[in-house]
Amino acid sequence: MTAPLYLDHAATSPVRGEVLEAMAPYLTRDFGNPSSHHTVGESAAAALEDARARVARLIGMRTGDIVFTAGGTEANNLAVKGIVLAALAGKVRPDAASGATGATGGARPPETDHAPTHVITTPIEHESILESVHYLERFHGVATTFVAVDGAGRVDPAAVAAAIRPGTALISVGHANNEIGTIQDVAGIVAAAAPTRVPVHVDAVQSAGWLPLAGIGADAITIAGHKLGAPKGIGVLGVRGRVPLEPLVHGGGQERGRRSGTENVAGAVALATALELAEAERAEAAARVGAESARFIAGVLAAVPSARLTGDPVRRLPGTASFVFPEVSGESVLLELERRGVVSSSGSACAAGSDEPSHVLLACGLPPAVAQTSVRFTLGRAGLPGDAPERLAALVADAVSAVRA
92: exposed, middle or buried (Cβ count in 10 Å: 0-12, 13-18, 19+): middle
Q: How far apart are CA 205 and CA 76, in angstroms?
A: 10
- What lies within 8 Å, CB to CB, of 338 at 6+ separation is 4
DSSP 343: E
d(CA 73, CA 197): 25
Q: Give the separation between CA 292 and CA 285, rounded to whole angstroms.
A: 10
How many CB atoms are closer than 10 A to CB 340? 16
Q: What is the CA radius of gyration of the chain?
A: 23
Cα-Cα-Cα-Cα dihedral sign, residues 379, 381, 382, 388: positive
Catalytic residue among 96, 303, 343, 350, which?
A: 350
Q: What is the DSSP string of 59-101?
A: HT--GGGEEEESSHHHHHHHHHHHHHHHHHHHHB-HHHHTT-B
Specify whether the CB–CB gap between 13 and 271 falls below 8 A: no
C-alpha–C-alpha distance, residues 285 and 381, integer Å: 6
Query: Looking at this protein, which amino acid is placed at residue 50?
Result: D
DSSP for 188-207, written as a single string: HHHHHHGGGT--EEEE-TTT
As a whole number of angstroms, the distance between CA 243 and CA 220 comes to 9
184 DSSP 8-state letter? P
Q: Is 364 a catalytic residue?
A: no
Residues recognised as catalytic: 350
